[in-house]
Amino acid sequence: MSYLFSEIKLGGLMLPNRIVIPPMCQYSAGSDGLPTPWHHMHLGTMAISGAGLVILEGTAVEDIGRISPNDLGLYNDAQEEALRDLVARIRTFSSTPIGIQIAHAGRKASNTPFDGREPVPVGAGGWVPIAPSPVPPKDIWPTPTEMTDADIARVVSAFAAAATRADRVGFDLVEVHAAHGYLISSFLSRSANHRTDEYGGSLENRMRLGIRLAEAVRAVWPKQKALGFRINGTDWTEAGISVDEATAFAAALKKVGVDYVTVSSGGNSRDQKLPAMVPGYQAHLAEAVRKGAGITTMTVGIIVTAEQAEETIASGKSDLVGVARASLDDPRWGHHAAQSLGKESVYPKPFWRVAAKYWPGYQFAHPPVKQT
Backbone CA torsion sign across 56, 308, 274, 132: positive
Give the helix/strand (H/E) hosting 214: helix 208-220
Question: In terms of C-beta density within 10 A (0-12 exposed, 13-18 middle, 19 or more buried), how is residue 190 classed?
Answer: buried
Choose among 353, 367, 335: nearest CA to 5: 335
Q: Active site residue: 75, 182, 199, 260, which one?
A: 182
Residues 130, 114: Cα–Cα separation, whole Å: 22
182 tagged catalytic: yes
Question: In terms of C-beta density within 10 A (0-12 exposed, 13-18 middle, 19 or more buried), how is residue 353 classed?
Answer: exposed
Q: Where are the alpha helices (DSSP H) in 48-182?
A: 77-90, 149-169
Q: What is the DSSP secondary structure assignment for residue 370, as one 8-state letter?
A: P
Choose among 157, 159, 104: nearest CA to 132: 104
Report the DSSP pairing between strands 260-264 and 296-300.
parallel
Residues 167, 114: Cα–Cα separation, whole Å: 31
Backbone CA torsion sign across 92, 161, 268, 124: positive
Q: What is the DSSP secondary structure assignment for residue 369, as one 8-state letter?
A: P
Choose among 91, 78, 82: nearest CA to 38: 82
Catalytic residues: 182
